[in-house]
Chains A and B, each alone.
Chain A
Amino acid sequence: MKGLALFAVVLTGALLLYATGDFPAWGSVHSPANGGELSSHYIENVRTETKVPNIVTAVLADYRSYDTMFETVVVFVAGIAIIALLRDFGNGSRGYPPALANNLPEEPDLIITQTCNLVIPVLQIFALYVLAHGHYSPGGGFQGGVMLGASYILIALANGVEVAMKAMSERKIMLLAATGILIYSGTGLICLLLGENFLDYHVLSRILPTDPIMARSHAILIVETGVAVTVAAIMFSIYANLATRGTLKGGL
């Protein structure tokens, strides 16, 4: 069996290497992916079509916004799947081994909690900065959302999951995660209700005080905010469920 597996791995590796010989030169401006009709169009026209300085953001959240919406749904699905499989609703129905005993010390460690108190606000502000700055630099909803979620995980690490759950209850996690996707898909739905195709942002200029091209730029910020909300809520939810074996009690 091991030999067979090794054979399959070697065969796959050989196939991949065989194909590599045929690749265009590394970084060549004439390769189809760099200099093809599609990439040239993006590079030349992003500023006039969307007014977004960062080409990656424009491709991600406008030209291919439908993909990004479903990537956010993937995050949402991961969160729900973990709750559906791991969450212990108190009747032991999943039959997993019992949760770890509450191993938190009586008094939270002063140095750790104070450091976290210092770091967390900065982390959250920086997360919002990363989110809002996606138009100009690397960043955007996914990165900002992860940092926002990490700030709640930090609270849970320092004080125990239950303290963090006071700020972000299970009910709130679900509402926030769904709200994030609703912000994204709702933006698309408004475009649809205004008579254009799904996610065709330019029509939002009728309800936003801007011209159709700037409306695309603004809409990108709206949908990125939706992504960040979902990602932050699901990040924390996954941590809380995994760390406590689905009981949401005690700490790591």
Chain B
Amino acid sequence: MGEQAPIAIVLAPLFGALLIAFVGIRFKALCLPVTLGALTVSLAATIETFRTVLSEGEFIYLISGWERLGEGKGISIGIEYRVDAISALVLLVIAAVSLLVAVYSRTRVVAETPDRIPYYYMLYLLLVAGLAGMTITNDAFNLFVLLEISSLTSYALIAVGSRRAVLSAFNYVIMGTIGASFYLLGVGYLYIKTGVLNMEDIHAVIVANDLAESPSIQVAFVLILMAVWIKMAFFPLHAWLPNAYSYSPTTTGALMAPLVTKVMIYIMIRMMVTVFGLDYAFRATLGMPFNWSNLVVSLSSIAIVAGSVMALSRRDLKKMLSYIIIAEVGYMVGGAWLANERGMTGAVYHIVNDAFMTLCLFLAVGVFIARTGDPRIAGMNGLFKKMPITMAAFTIGALSMIGLPPTCGFFSKWYLVGGGIEAGQWHFVGALLFSSLVNAVIFFRIFEIAYFPKELSDPAPECTDPDAAPVATLQRTPLSMSLPLWISAIALIGLGIFNHTITQWIGSALGSLKFFPPAG
């Protein structure tokens, strides 16, 4: 069955969702076991796929068995999967994070959406299927189909929360739909000029027919770039993100915050590396007197600074984390566009690290809110004493976000800063250091509140929803919540200690690529 593992990654959550539709609606207690089972199968298949890539290098899985046509590489007439070192890594992150969050959801989904448990888990599984399918596919149009699935499910998973969540989900629907239509337009333009949809084939046709200067291809490039930027909340296209992640149910936030933006960054890199090619991505100018690399790195620097500054002024925990995500998106976009291997390695490595850092912090914040019922930073008053173990995990996540060794945040930032220096993009280096400093201020302020309890003067939470049904606070942290939190915190240290292995692994996929640093 080894060679069928890639398809099982996507099919396991899909069949899990169908099983919930058949039995979960009647027997609600079965929903969570089915979800956990499906995600475990998916994780096992991902590990199997990862091992295949480890031993044989990148490989292709032909869906429907249609062989490629013609001499040499030929062209693809069906749809195919392609797994290389980078996509295998991202798939592993998706499978691991979704399983951990599913364990974590045990008490939360029952408490927050008691009458819609089966529907919640169906949407949850289909979101995971969509994200994994986007990561593994080698077909530009198939990516759009799975983008639709992951978008629709995430809108619903957000809106199923309180009434404020409905409004923020509506904003997300508008922004997300614009993004998806831009992507579709971009793929349409590519198809008109190349006549193929397979990612590698599009690249081959662009090179063979010398289409680099073609206005349609350049416009397609801009449209696809805008689409992924909207979807990943790249500043200034970020407005949908903070409310969507803060007002959604706890589990939704913990699943989407680590995965959705990160998968979109992976897709941006896939577009740059596989579809358009790095020489195109770094040089295409659309007849303008600038080159893309410099422009996007400058935008990233602005995004990092803006995200950090906005995070600094938030009093709500989840909002604050959401703005940190926006700054982190700037890290990865900037790293990918530095036009050198070190920066690209840092960006891919940071996708993995940031997924686990965000997971750890969102899980910890979920525990705090479940225990205290207060979403504000001020609500963390004296928490070191009240729940020392959870605070320890939160501290590891926070230190990684700041970028202190031996947590993984330090190492990916090291690569990004190194890449910035190599490329001579000093403003990017400055923005990274500034953001680390701001993160340090934010988190040490939280540590202070949590370590030295004070009398609260203003008990009215900023973010509670008067219409929402009150969710009872927990007296103890259940194992289903603390276990995933601890695994994610340990993963942060593990990812840091094995940084050399991981970056070598990423380098094995990037090694054959030629980077084209912009002249001057």
Contact = CB atoms under 8 A, between A and B. Distances in A.
B219 interface: yes
A221 interface: no
B123 interface: yes
Nearest to A20: B216
A64 B467 contact: no
Contacts of A78: 152
Contacts of B149: 70, 73-74, 77
Nearest to A68: B145
A81 B123 contact: yes
B7 A197 contact: yes
A18 B215 contact: yes
A24 to B, nearest CB: 7
B155 interface: yes
Instruction: Give the interface size class of chain A.
Output: 35 or more
A93 interface: yes
B504 interface: no
A182 interface: yes
B223 to A, nearest CB: 8
Contacts of A181: 14, 18
Nearest to A93: B115
Interface residues of B, number: 66
Nearest to A83: B119
Contacts of B160: 84-85
Contacts of A84: 116, 119-120, 123, 156, 160
Interface in B355-391: none
Contacts of B469: 93
A85 B467 CA distance: 16
A86 to B, nearest CB: 10
A185 B14 contact: yes
Interface string A6-44: 000000000110111111100000011111111101100
A41 B79 CA distance: 15
A38 B148 CA distance: 25
Interface stretch (A140-148, A149-157, A170-178): A170-178
Interface stretch (A102-110, A129-137, A199-207): A199-207
B313 interface: no
B14 A62 contact: no
Contacts of A66: 63-64, 78-79, 142
A181 B19 CA distance: 11
Interface of A: 15-16, 18-24, 31-39, 41-42, 62-67, 70-71, 73-74, 77-78, 80-81, 83-85, 87, 89, 91, 93, 95, 171, 174-175, 177-178, 181-182, 185, 189, 192, 196-202
6 contacts: A24-B192, A37-B75, A80-B119, A80-B122, A197-B7, A201-B64
